[in-house]
Structure 1
Amino acid sequence: MAEFVLVAGAWLGAWAWGEVVPELRAAGHGAHPLTLSGLAERRGVPAGQQTHVRDVVGEVERRDLREVVLVGHSYAGIPVGQAAERIGDRLARVVFVDSDVPVDGESFASGWSEEGRAALRASFAEHGGFWAPPTAAGYSGQGLTDGQVARIVDGATPHPGATLTEPAVLAGPLDALPATYVKCLLDGPEPSDVVAGLLTSERWRLVEMDTGHWPMFSRPRELARILLDAAAG
């Protein structure tokens, strides 16, 4: 039996996995959706990027989980990737769902254009140090129904800014981890250059989904099948 720890990306919480978790549990596995500090029902909890790494590691250790499949979506790939190397032999696999991946010494925003970083700083200034979630228009072209977009927009909360600007800390090469990368094609046909390099490792696998950046909403059953296949090795 695998134990899935599922972490959604910026602005989201454990609630985002509501249609995926029952599929995993029905297949006989444990499923533990996690809300990171400062988001959703944990709003108000101070958080930097390393806080989020500790959130993930702490969930694994608190529940004394083994055969862990860590799942990180979007931004959450950065703390999940760091947590994966910190939980040692508890880890069975890490799955990055259309996500960023940690690069030692670099932050979530390190690779952004100056224009993008300026927009991020402006959001921090306007929203008290937080990254404001997109409006409904920001989810267009991602394979989502109007109802799914409304659900995301209604549930989204501002994202703690420090988590986006603090650098990742890796003890070893990320390509040494057993990993699956899920590329959502409506969000771009090719993985980033960093991910493409990692995918040359014999320990990494690529899976493509013909949907957008939020597959836990647009294709939850298909995503669950991919996660189950990843856990099976």
Structure 2
Amino acid sequence: MTVFIMVAGVFTGAGVWQETAARLAEAGSEAHAVPLTGVDASRPAASVPVDLETHIADVIAAIDAVGPASGREIVLVGHDYGIHPVLGAADRRPQHVARVVYLDCGMPQNGVPALAAVPDRVLRARLSGTPQHNSFEGELAQPIGDEWQRWGSTAGLSAAALERLDALAAPHPLGTLLQPLRLTGAPTSMPTTGVLCTRNGVGIDLVQQRVELGDPAMATLTDPRVTFFELPTGHWPMLSCPSALADVLLRAAAGEGRRLRPADTSATPVHLRPFPLEVPEVPRDRRGHVDLYVPDAEGPRPAVVLVHGGPVPAGARPTPREWPTLVGHARLAATEGVIGVTLDHRLHDVGDFERAAADVTAAIELVRSDPRVDADRIALWFFSSGGLLTADWLSHPPAWLRCLTASYPILTPPPNWGLTGDRFHPVRTVAHAGALPIVLLRAGRETPEVAATVAAFVTAAEDCGANLKLVDIPNGHHNFETLDATEETRLALRHAMRAVVTRLTS
């Protein structure tokens, strides 16, 4: 028999697991939701402040209560913050744990506190200045209603379920977020399963892409003992789809799930496959973190500045400005008589958007100062998650910005990226774009989570009367330039570039 020991996330206690536990029991398994000290009413805090070690002890007690000598397999399930005490307990009882399930959470590392995974960047910055002591006092007040969105997507939660989340919530002991997690490394040898809630921003394909980009932090996820599942819901699947979650947990315990492919060094990764159009060679002129592809033409020329997405690991080689898609677009621009520009920016992690935006602004200033460039005729072209960087330019378009273009963009930030407010939220800022021409290349076979952001942007643009032109690739996927080398793709690329050049030169 499998015994599931489940640990809830921040502000939520054992009560959120009620329906999931019942369905696991109906399937013949045992299921225990761990009451956490200082969170659950059944386990009030004593006089000593509650920290992460307190919650690790709560989980260890649940493991020991099962009686490992009985031969029953124990599967630990950690949701959100709950993965921290789960890993701490697994580290101390490795011989008793058959599998660890990461339920819509990150991958905690030794010596790093749970605060690092808090998606609310403002709160994270405020708490990061808290003095580090051997014990921590205080608590965080629980969210209510729409405030939950700062902690994860509420997609899939009915009004009744959201009310129940409010009712079950409790203040969370601050010390559990501030005390670093201490691991010996024992959990790394255990079978693990990641359950990704795609409406919260991450799917398996995105993780696979990070592997193929050579991100060393992702390499361990290609171990055959690591499996993945997706749930098309928000951050609280135990309330939005408890039956589906129970089914996934049972399958995870059985060793099922999708496995990631290791990066194949003998094959060409997707992002380095050839550009689908044959474009003439144009010499590259490198200036700092910017490359210019200048046509053989007289006088200052308009420029198209191409902005890659990410996150891209800091050590990835070649860097994005040398990727075939970016270079191909730059050379295609040069064949149309304008200067193509590629650049590198430091979007190495989802917390790097402000730094990336500053890098892009610096690159544009460098380009506009070049005597070969007509500084009053610039187009910006963004790709994938670089689409979030369009928000600054949509909210206050400068006079020299003659066109803004985006290919398969992400246009609302995933909830778990912690990008609150209007900055990096193009759906909210497009209403300020005025007459700025916007060209949007839309992939018909886009991933559902990205397609939803594009649909929201198109609706917002239409509602405010924005100057939007859509270029559709009905059979195109995300990264269609290198994934779909079809005539449809080639026609769309030429059409989009000519639309941009027309807006630059008119």
TM-score by length of 1: 0.89
Q: Which residue of 1 aligns with 2:45?
A: 44
* CA deviation string 1:18-39 (max 9, x = no partner): 1001111111111111111111
- Determine helix, strand or coil for the equivalent of 1:3: strand
Q: Which one-letter code corresponds to 1:62 in the other structure?
A: A
State yes or no: 1:116 paired with 2:117.
Answer: no
- Choose the corresponding residue for 1:211, options 208, 228, 233: 233
- Determine helix, strand or coil for the equivalent of 2:59: helix
* CA deviation string 1:41-97 (max 9, x = no partner): 123344210111111111111331441000110000111012123222221111111
Cα distance change, pair 120–29 in 1 and its aligned pair in 2 (3 A): same
8 Å Cα contact 1:81/1:101 also seen in 2: no
Give the alignment of 1:79-90 within 5 angstroms. Answer: 79-90=85-96
Q: Which one-letter code corresponds to 1:170 in the other structure?
A: L
CA separation in 2, counterparts of 1:35 and 1:109?
Answer: 21
* CA deviation string 1:117-151 (max 9, x = no partner): 2444799xxxx711121110034542211100000
CA separation in 2, counterparts of 1:204 and 1:154?
Answer: 35
- Choose the corresponding residue for 1:136, options 131, 134, 145: 145
CA separation in 2, counterparts of 1:89 and 1:18?
Answer: 28
CA separation in 2, counterparts of 1:114 and 1:6?
Answer: 27
Unaligned segments of structure 1, at least 5 residues: none
- Choose the corresponding residue for 2:104, options 77, 98, 103: 98
* CA deviation string 1:150-204 (max 9, x = no partner): 0011110000000001001111164322100101111112569797444222221
8 Å Cα contact 1:76/1:100 also seen in 2: no
Larger relative contact order (CA 8 Å, sep ≥ 6): 1
Q: Which one-letter code corresponds to 1:230 in the other structure?
A: A
Cα distance change, pair 11–194 in 1 and its aligned pair in 2 (3 A): farther
- Determine helix, strand or coil for the equivalent of 1:110: helix
Larger radius of gyration: 2
CA separation in 2, counterparts of 1:199 and 1:105?
Answer: 20
CA separation in 1, counterparts of 2:56 and 2:146?
Answer: 31
Cα distance change, pair 207–40 in 1 and its aligned pair in 2 (3 A): same
Q: How far off its partner does 1:2 sit?
A: 0.4
State yes or no: 1:12 paired with 2:12.
Answer: yes
Cα distance change, pair 44–57 in 1 and its aligned pair in 2 (3 A): closer
Q: Which one-letter code corresponds to 1:96 in the other structure?
A: Y
CA separation in 2, counterparts of 1:225 and 1:189?
Answer: 20
* CA deviation string 1:176-233 (max 9, x = no partner): 2210010111111256979744422222111111000000000100000001011112
Cα distance change, pair 154–100 in 1 and its aligned pair in 2 (3 A): same
TM-score by length of 2: 0.42
Q: Which residue of 1 aligns with 2:245?
A: 223
- Choose the corresponding residue for 2:185, options 172, 177, 189: 172
Deviates more, 1:170-179 or 1:24-33: 170-179
State yes or no: 1:181 paired with 2:182.
Answer: no
Q: What is the percent sequence identity of the aligned residues? A: 38
- Determine helix, strand or coil for the equivalent of 2:101: strand
Cα distance change, pair 9–114 in 1 and its aligned pair in 2 (3 A): closer
- Determine helix, strand or coil for the equivalent of 1:40: coil
Q: Which residue of 2 aligns with 1:201?
A: 223
- Determine helix, strand or coil for the equivalent of 2:235: coil
Q: Which residue of 2 aligns with 1:58?
A: 61
Deviates more, 1:189-198 or 1:199-208: 189-198
CA separation in 2, counterparts of 1:67 and 1:131?
Answer: 35
Q: Which residue of 2 aligns with 1:157?
A: 170
- Determine helix, strand or coil for the equivalent of 2:75: strand
CA separation in 2, counterparts of 1:51 and 1:180?
Answer: 25
State yes or no: 1:70 paired with 2:71.
Answer: no
8 Å Cα contact 1:101/1:195 also seen in 2: no
